[in-house]
Protein backbone atom coordinates (compact mmCIF):
# COMPACT_ATOMS: atom_id res chain seq x y z
CA UNK A 1 0.00 0.00 0.00
CA UNK A 2 3.11 2.24 -0.20
CA UNK A 3 2.91 4.37 -3.36
CA UNK A 4 5.28 3.54 -6.24
CA UNK A 5 7.15 6.84 -5.93
CA UNK A 6 7.80 6.31 -2.21
CA UNK A 7 8.84 2.70 -2.78
CA UNK A 8 11.25 3.74 -5.54
CA UNK A 9 12.73 6.40 -3.25
CA UNK A 10 13.09 3.91 -0.37
CA UNK A 11 14.80 1.42 -2.70
CA UNK A 12 17.35 4.01 -3.82
CA UNK A 13 18.01 5.21 -0.26
CA UNK A 14 18.42 1.58 0.82
CA UNK A 15 21.35 1.25 -1.61
CA UNK A 16 23.37 3.83 0.34
CA UNK A 17 26.11 2.33 2.54
CA UNK A 18 25.05 1.66 6.13
CA UNK A 19 21.31 1.95 5.48
CA UNK A 20 19.10 -1.13 5.63
CA UNK A 21 15.45 -1.35 4.50
CA UNK A 22 14.13 -0.10 7.86
CA UNK A 23 16.42 2.93 8.09
CA UNK A 24 15.74 3.69 4.42
CA UNK A 25 12.00 3.87 5.23
CA UNK A 26 12.77 6.11 8.21
CA UNK A 27 14.95 8.42 6.10
CA UNK A 28 12.33 8.57 3.31
CA UNK A 29 9.60 9.54 5.78
CA UNK A 30 11.83 12.14 7.40
CA UNK A 31 12.52 13.62 3.96
CA UNK A 32 8.82 13.67 3.01
CA UNK A 33 8.01 15.45 6.27
CA UNK A 34 10.73 18.06 5.67
CA UNK A 35 10.23 18.80 2.02
CA UNK A 36 11.23 22.45 1.83
CA UNK A 37 13.93 22.32 4.49
CA UNK A 38 15.69 19.12 3.49
CA UNK A 39 14.28 17.09 0.59
CA UNK A 40 14.46 19.70 -2.18
CA UNK A 41 17.79 21.20 -1.03
CA UNK A 42 19.24 17.67 -0.94
CA UNK A 43 18.00 16.91 -4.46
CA UNK A 44 19.53 20.19 -5.62
CA UNK A 45 22.85 19.54 -3.84
CA UNK A 46 23.03 16.06 -5.40
CA UNK A 47 22.45 17.42 -8.89
CA UNK A 48 24.92 20.27 -8.37
CA UNK A 49 27.64 18.01 -6.94
CA UNK A 50 27.18 15.41 -9.69
CA UNK A 51 27.55 18.22 -12.19
CA UNK A 52 30.60 20.11 -10.89
CA UNK A 53 32.72 17.58 -9.01
CA UNK A 54 35.43 15.82 -10.98
CA UNK A 55 38.26 13.43 -10.26
CA UNK A 56 41.68 15.09 -10.07
CA UNK A 57 43.90 13.70 -12.89
CA UNK A 58 46.97 13.93 -10.63
CA UNK A 59 45.97 12.47 -7.25
CA UNK A 60 42.46 11.03 -7.95
CA UNK A 61 40.90 13.23 -5.25
CA UNK A 62 37.43 14.67 -5.96
CA UNK A 63 37.05 18.44 -6.30
CA UNK A 64 35.32 21.13 -8.32
CA UNK A 65 38.60 22.10 -9.98
CA UNK A 66 41.03 20.14 -12.19
CA UNK A 67 43.68 19.60 -10.78
CA UNK A 68 42.20 19.61 -7.26
CA UNK A 69 42.90 22.41 -4.75
CA UNK A 70 45.62 20.33 -3.05
CA UNK A 71 47.49 19.48 -6.26
CA UNK A 72 47.10 23.08 -7.49
CA UNK A 73 48.60 24.47 -4.28
CA UNK A 74 52.12 25.84 -4.68
CA UNK A 75 52.96 26.09 -0.96
CA UNK A 76 52.87 22.34 -0.32
CA UNK A 77 55.95 20.10 -0.29
CA UNK A 78 56.46 18.50 -3.73
CA UNK A 79 58.93 16.08 -2.14
CA UNK A 80 56.39 13.89 -0.32
CA UNK A 81 53.50 11.82 -1.66
CA UNK A 82 51.11 10.21 0.80
CA UNK A 83 49.40 7.13 -0.65
CA UNK A 84 45.91 6.45 0.75
CA UNK A 85 43.24 3.92 -0.04
CA UNK A 86 40.23 6.21 -0.26
CA UNK A 87 39.30 9.90 -0.39
CA UNK A 88 37.84 9.57 3.13
CA UNK A 89 41.39 8.82 4.33
CA UNK A 90 42.63 11.97 2.57
CA UNK A 91 39.97 14.01 4.39
CA UNK A 92 40.97 12.41 7.70
CA UNK A 93 44.67 13.23 7.21
CA UNK A 94 43.92 16.76 5.95
CA UNK A 95 41.80 17.38 9.07
CA UNK A 96 44.84 16.76 11.31
CA UNK A 97 46.65 19.61 9.53
CA UNK A 98 49.97 17.80 10.08
CA UNK A 99 50.76 16.77 6.51
CA UNK A 100 51.81 19.34 3.93
CA UNK A 101 52.81 17.15 0.98
CA UNK A 102 50.71 15.78 -1.87
CA UNK A 103 48.39 12.79 -1.96
CA UNK A 104 47.73 9.82 -4.17
CA UNK A 105 44.36 8.05 -3.84
CA UNK A 106 44.59 4.36 -4.80
CA UNK A 107 40.85 3.80 -5.00
CA UNK A 108 40.94 0.50 -3.11
CA UNK A 109 43.30 -2.30 -2.14
CA UNK A 110 44.64 -5.29 -4.04
CA UNK A 111 42.41 -8.30 -3.58
CA UNK A 112 42.99 -11.66 -5.22
CA UNK A 113 39.52 -12.81 -4.12
CA UNK A 114 37.72 -9.88 -5.75
CA UNK A 115 40.05 -9.95 -8.75
CA UNK A 116 41.45 -6.46 -8.09
CA UNK A 117 44.97 -6.16 -9.53
CA UNK A 118 47.44 -3.24 -9.69
CA UNK A 119 45.92 -2.00 -12.96
CA UNK A 120 42.48 -1.66 -11.38
CA UNK A 121 43.98 0.72 -8.81
CA UNK A 122 46.04 3.81 -9.64
CA UNK A 123 49.33 2.01 -8.81
CA UNK A 124 50.94 2.41 -12.29
CA UNK A 125 50.13 6.13 -12.10
CA UNK A 126 51.72 6.30 -8.62
CA UNK A 127 54.96 4.74 -9.94
CA UNK A 128 54.97 7.28 -12.76
CA UNK A 129 54.58 10.14 -10.26
CA UNK A 130 57.27 8.67 -7.96
CA UNK A 131 59.79 8.74 -10.84
CA UNK A 132 59.65 12.56 -10.79
CA UNK A 133 63.05 13.74 -9.47
CA UNK A 134 61.46 16.18 -7.01
CA UNK A 135 59.77 13.34 -5.09
CA UNK A 136 61.96 12.20 -2.18
CA UNK A 137 59.54 10.20 0.00
CA UNK A 138 56.40 8.12 -0.43
CA UNK A 139 54.34 7.56 2.76
CA UNK A 140 52.22 4.44 2.35
CA UNK A 141 49.29 5.27 4.67
CA UNK A 142 47.05 2.28 4.02
CA UNK A 143 44.72 0.70 6.57
CA UNK A 144 46.32 -1.75 9.01
CA UNK A 145 44.15 -4.55 7.63
CA UNK A 146 45.40 -7.64 5.77
CA UNK A 147 44.37 -6.24 2.35
CA UNK A 148 45.84 -2.83 3.21
CA UNK A 149 49.16 -4.26 4.35
CA UNK A 150 49.42 -6.61 1.34
CA UNK A 151 48.92 -3.62 -0.94
CA UNK A 152 51.45 -1.58 1.07
CA UNK A 153 54.09 -4.32 0.64
CA UNK A 154 53.37 -4.57 -3.08
CA UNK A 155 53.74 -0.79 -3.50
CA UNK A 156 56.96 -0.73 -1.45
CA UNK A 157 58.36 -3.49 -3.73
CA UNK A 158 57.41 -1.58 -6.88
CA UNK A 159 58.98 1.62 -5.54
CA UNK A 160 62.36 -0.08 -5.01
CA UNK A 161 63.39 0.87 -8.54
CA UNK A 162 62.48 4.54 -7.97
CA UNK A 163 64.85 6.82 -6.14
CA UNK A 164 62.51 7.50 -3.17
CA UNK A 165 62.38 6.44 0.49
CA UNK A 166 59.23 4.52 1.33
CA UNK A 167 57.73 4.98 4.82
CA UNK A 168 54.61 3.85 6.63
CA UNK A 169 52.53 5.18 9.52
CA UNK A 170 53.73 4.27 13.04
CA UNK A 171 51.84 1.55 14.88
CA UNK A 172 51.21 1.97 18.60
CA UNK A 173 48.86 2.94 21.39
CA UNK A 174 46.19 5.39 20.14
CA UNK A 175 46.13 8.74 21.97
CA UNK A 176 43.65 8.33 24.83
CA UNK A 177 43.78 4.54 24.45
CA UNK A 178 43.79 2.22 27.43
CA UNK A 179 46.46 -0.50 27.41
CA UNK A 180 44.08 -2.95 29.09
CA UNK A 181 41.70 -2.73 26.12
CA UNK A 182 44.27 -2.90 23.29
CA UNK A 183 44.58 -5.96 21.08
CA UNK A 184 47.75 -8.08 21.24
CA UNK A 185 49.01 -6.99 17.82
CA UNK A 186 48.90 -3.27 18.60
CA UNK A 187 50.48 -3.77 22.02
CA UNK A 188 53.31 -5.92 20.56
CA UNK A 189 53.93 -3.29 17.86
CA UNK A 190 53.99 -0.51 20.47
CA UNK A 191 56.52 -2.46 22.55
CA UNK A 192 58.75 -3.18 19.56
CA UNK A 193 58.77 0.50 18.53
CA UNK A 194 59.29 1.86 22.06
CA UNK A 195 61.10 5.17 22.33
CA UNK A 196 63.35 6.87 24.88
CA UNK A 197 61.39 9.38 26.99
CA UNK B 1 40.35 20.99 1.84
CA UNK B 2 36.95 19.39 1.05
CA UNK B 3 35.25 21.42 -1.70
CA UNK B 4 32.25 23.60 -0.76
CA UNK B 5 29.81 21.54 -2.84
CA UNK B 6 30.89 18.29 -1.19
CA UNK B 7 30.76 19.85 2.26
CA UNK B 8 27.28 21.21 1.63
CA UNK B 9 26.16 17.76 0.44
CA UNK B 10 27.71 16.07 3.51
CA UNK B 11 26.00 18.59 5.80
CA UNK B 12 22.59 17.87 4.26
CA UNK B 13 23.11 14.09 4.37
CA UNK B 14 24.20 14.40 8.00
CA UNK B 15 20.78 15.84 8.84
CA UNK B 16 19.06 12.57 7.88
CA UNK B 17 17.99 10.43 10.85
CA UNK B 18 20.53 7.82 11.91
CA UNK B 19 23.46 9.34 9.99
CA UNK B 20 26.31 11.03 11.86
CA UNK B 21 29.10 13.12 10.31
CA UNK B 22 31.24 10.06 9.53
CA UNK B 23 28.48 8.05 7.84
CA UNK B 24 27.38 11.20 5.98
CA UNK B 25 30.91 11.47 4.51
CA UNK B 26 30.81 7.79 3.60
CA UNK B 27 27.41 8.15 1.91
CA UNK B 28 28.52 11.28 0.02
CA UNK B 29 31.63 9.51 -1.30
CA UNK B 30 29.60 6.46 -2.30
CA UNK B 31 27.21 8.74 -4.19
CA UNK B 32 30.03 10.60 -5.95
CA UNK B 33 31.53 7.29 -7.02
CA UNK B 34 28.19 6.04 -8.39
CA UNK B 35 26.96 9.13 -10.15
CA UNK B 36 24.98 7.62 -13.02
CA UNK B 37 23.74 4.56 -11.15
CA UNK B 38 22.70 6.15 -7.87
CA UNK B 39 23.34 9.87 -7.38
CA UNK B 40 21.34 11.29 -10.30
CA UNK B 41 18.47 8.75 -10.00
CA UNK B 42 18.24 9.61 -6.28
CA UNK B 43 18.12 13.36 -7.00
CA UNK B 44 15.41 12.70 -9.56
CA UNK B 45 13.42 10.44 -7.20
CA UNK B 46 13.62 13.08 -4.46
CA UNK B 47 12.35 15.80 -6.77
CA UNK B 48 9.59 13.57 -8.16
CA UNK B 49 8.43 12.40 -4.73
CA UNK B 50 8.47 15.95 -3.31
CA UNK B 51 6.34 16.96 -6.26
CA UNK B 52 3.67 14.26 -6.37
CA UNK B 53 3.29 12.97 -2.82
CA UNK B 54 0.63 14.61 -0.67
CA UNK B 55 -0.86 14.09 2.76
CA UNK B 56 -4.26 12.35 2.72
CA UNK B 57 -6.90 14.75 4.14
CA UNK B 58 -8.76 11.82 5.75
CA UNK B 59 -6.12 9.67 7.46
CA UNK B 60 -2.92 11.81 7.16
CA UNK B 61 -1.12 9.03 5.25
CA UNK B 62 1.21 10.06 2.41
CA UNK B 63 0.32 9.05 -1.15
CA UNK B 64 0.27 10.28 -4.73
CA UNK B 65 -3.53 10.47 -4.68
CA UNK B 66 -5.97 12.47 -2.52
CA UNK B 67 -7.56 10.72 -0.62
CA UNK B 68 -4.89 8.02 -0.35
CA UNK B 69 -5.30 4.55 -1.91
CA UNK B 70 -6.39 3.08 1.45
CA UNK B 71 -9.06 5.74 2.15
CA UNK B 72 -10.24 5.57 -1.48
CA UNK B 73 -10.68 1.78 -1.30
CA UNK B 74 -14.31 0.63 -1.18
CA UNK B 75 -13.64 -2.97 -0.14
CA UNK B 76 -12.23 -2.11 3.28
CA UNK B 77 -14.26 -2.14 6.49
CA UNK B 78 -15.61 1.36 7.26
CA UNK B 79 -16.44 0.16 10.80
CA UNK B 80 -12.87 0.12 12.15
CA UNK B 81 -10.28 2.88 12.46
CA UNK B 82 -6.76 1.98 13.53
CA UNK B 83 -4.96 4.90 15.20
CA UNK B 84 -1.16 4.89 14.73
CA UNK B 85 1.58 7.30 15.68
CA UNK B 86 3.44 7.44 12.40
CA UNK B 87 3.16 6.43 8.74
CA UNK B 88 5.93 3.86 9.32
CA UNK B 89 3.52 2.09 11.72
CA UNK B 90 0.84 2.11 9.00
CA UNK B 91 3.29 0.48 6.57
CA UNK B 92 4.20 -2.13 9.21
CA UNK B 93 0.54 -3.03 9.87
CA UNK B 94 -0.33 -3.05 6.14
CA UNK B 95 2.57 -5.45 5.52
CA UNK B 96 1.00 -8.03 7.85
CA UNK B 97 -2.11 -8.04 5.62
CA UNK B 98 -4.25 -8.76 8.69
CA UNK B 99 -6.07 -5.45 9.02
CA UNK B 100 -8.75 -4.42 6.54
CA UNK B 101 -10.17 -1.28 8.13
CA UNK B 102 -9.08 2.34 7.81
CA UNK B 103 -6.22 4.19 9.47
CA UNK B 104 -5.66 7.46 11.29
CA UNK B 105 -2.09 8.76 11.55
CA UNK B 106 -1.61 10.94 14.65
CA UNK B 107 1.74 12.36 13.59
CA UNK B 108 3.36 11.91 17.01
CA UNK B 109 2.49 11.47 20.67
CA UNK B 110 1.43 13.90 23.38
CA UNK B 111 4.43 15.24 25.24
CA UNK B 112 4.25 17.81 28.02
CA UNK B 113 8.04 18.24 27.92
CA UNK B 114 8.13 19.07 24.19
CA UNK B 115 4.92 21.09 24.44
CA UNK B 116 2.96 18.81 22.10
CA UNK B 117 -0.77 18.98 22.91
CA UNK B 118 -3.83 17.33 21.31
CA UNK B 119 -4.18 20.19 18.78
CA UNK B 120 -0.64 19.60 17.47
CA UNK B 121 -1.61 16.02 16.61
CA UNK B 122 -4.63 15.02 14.54
CA UNK B 123 -6.65 14.06 17.65
CA UNK B 124 -9.55 16.53 17.07
CA UNK B 125 -9.83 15.18 13.52
CA UNK B 126 -9.90 11.60 14.88
CA UNK B 127 -12.80 12.46 17.24
CA UNK B 128 -14.66 13.97 14.31
CA UNK B 129 -14.13 10.80 12.26
CA UNK B 130 -15.15 8.58 15.19
CA UNK B 131 -18.51 10.39 15.45
CA UNK B 132 -19.49 8.94 12.04
CA UNK B 133 -22.27 6.38 12.72
CA UNK B 134 -20.62 3.74 10.54
CA UNK B 135 -17.55 3.58 12.82
CA UNK B 136 -17.97 0.84 15.43
CA UNK B 137 -14.43 0.34 16.75
CA UNK B 138 -11.25 2.38 17.21
CA UNK B 139 -8.04 0.36 17.65
CA UNK B 140 -5.45 2.49 19.44
CA UNK B 141 -2.22 0.93 18.10
CA UNK B 142 0.35 3.24 19.69
CA UNK B 143 3.84 2.23 20.76
CA UNK B 144 4.11 0.57 24.16
CA UNK B 145 6.28 3.44 25.42
CA UNK B 146 5.35 5.91 28.17
CA UNK B 147 4.47 8.68 25.68
CA UNK B 148 2.56 6.24 23.47
CA UNK B 149 0.53 4.85 26.35
CA UNK B 150 -0.21 8.32 27.79
CA UNK B 151 -1.55 9.34 24.39
CA UNK B 152 -3.54 6.10 24.11
CA UNK B 153 -5.22 6.78 27.49
CA UNK B 154 -6.00 10.36 26.48
CA UNK B 155 -7.58 9.20 23.21
CA UNK B 156 -9.58 6.48 24.98
CA UNK B 157 -10.92 9.14 27.41
CA UNK B 158 -11.88 11.46 24.55
CA UNK B 159 -13.65 8.63 22.70
CA UNK B 160 -15.90 7.87 25.70
CA UNK B 161 -18.48 10.34 24.41
CA UNK B 162 -18.53 8.70 20.94
CA UNK B 163 -20.51 5.55 20.37
CA UNK B 164 -17.50 3.33 19.56
CA UNK B 165 -15.62 0.56 21.33
CA UNK B 166 -11.97 1.40 21.96
CA UNK B 167 -9.43 -1.45 21.82
CA UNK B 168 -5.66 -1.74 21.99
CA UNK B 169 -3.10 -4.25 20.69
CA UNK B 170 -2.49 -7.34 22.85
CA UNK B 171 0.67 -7.43 24.95
CA UNK B 172 2.57 -10.70 25.25
CA UNK B 173 5.44 -12.89 24.14
CA UNK B 174 6.56 -11.98 20.57
CA UNK B 175 6.38 -14.85 18.05
CA UNK B 176 9.79 -16.54 18.14
CA UNK B 177 10.59 -14.80 21.45
CA UNK B 178 12.44 -16.59 24.25
CA UNK B 179 10.89 -16.28 27.70
CA UNK B 180 14.32 -16.16 29.33
CA UNK B 181 15.18 -12.97 27.43
CA UNK B 182 11.86 -11.13 27.90
CA UNK B 183 11.59 -8.09 30.16
CA UNK B 184 9.50 -8.31 33.35
CA UNK B 185 6.74 -6.03 32.05
CA UNK B 186 6.08 -8.10 28.93
CA UNK B 187 6.19 -11.38 30.87
CA UNK B 188 3.77 -10.05 33.51
CA UNK B 189 1.40 -8.81 30.76
CA UNK B 190 1.60 -12.17 28.99
CA UNK B 191 0.78 -13.99 32.26
CA UNK B 192 -2.15 -11.68 33.04
CA UNK B 193 -3.64 -12.16 29.55
CA UNK B 194 -3.08 -15.95 29.46
CA UNK B 195 -5.52 -17.95 27.34
CA UNK B 196 -6.95 -21.46 27.38
CA UNK B 197 -5.13 -23.74 24.91
| Nearest residue of chain B to residue A16 (CA atoms) | B27
| Residues within 8 A of B (CB atoms), A 37-56 only | 38-50, 52-53
**Is residue A3 scored above 90 in pLDDT?**
no
Q: Which pLDDT band, with edges at 50, 70 and 90, does B157 fall under?
A: very high
Give pLDDT tens digits for A38-54.
999 999 999 999 999 99
Q: How far is CA A105 from CA A11, A97, B23, in A?
A: 30, 18, 20
Give ipTM to 2 decimals.
0.82
B167: alpha, beta or left? (left if phi > 0; alpha if psi -120 to 50): beta
CATH architecture observed for domain B78-168: 3-Layer(aba) Sandwich (3.40)
Strands A54-55, A62-63: parallel, antiparallel or unpaired by DSSP? antiparallel
Decide if B23 and A18 are in contact by the 8 Å CB cutoff.
yes
Decide if B135 contacts B128 (C-beta within 8 A). no
Decide if B46 and A32 are in contact by the 8 Å CB cutoff.
no
Q: Where in chain A is the domain with CATH 3.40.1360.10?
A: 78-168
pTM exceeding 0.90: no
Q: Which pLDDT band, with edges at 50, 70 and 90, does A1 fall under?
A: low
Cis peptide before B32 (omega within 30 of 0): no
Q: Is A122 helix (H, G, I), strand (E, B) or coil?
A: coil
B192: closest CA of chain A, how far (Å):
32
| Residues within 8 A of A (CB atoms), B 63-102 only | 63-65, 69-70, 86-88, 90-91, 94
Query: Which of these, B94, B103, B99, B98, lies nearest to B67 by C-alpha position?
Result: B103
Q: Which fold has domain B4-51?
A: Helicase, Ruva Protein; domain 3 (1.10.8)
A127: closest CA of chain B, how far (Å):
24
Q: Where in chain B is the domain with CATH 1.10.8.420?
A: 4-51
Distance CA B23, CA A50 (A): 19
| Nearest residue of chain B to residue A64 (CA atoms) | B3
Please count the residue pairs, one from chain A and one from chain B, whose beta carbons lie less than 8 angstroms apart: 152
Give pLDDT tens digits for A72-110.
999 999 999 999 999 999 999 998 889 999 999 999 999
Amino acid sequence: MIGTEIEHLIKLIGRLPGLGPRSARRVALHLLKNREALMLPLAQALNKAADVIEECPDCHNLDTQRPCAICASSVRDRGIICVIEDIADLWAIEKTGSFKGYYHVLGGTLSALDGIGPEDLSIPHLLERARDDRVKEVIVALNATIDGQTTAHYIADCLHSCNVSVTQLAHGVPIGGQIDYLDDGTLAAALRSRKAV
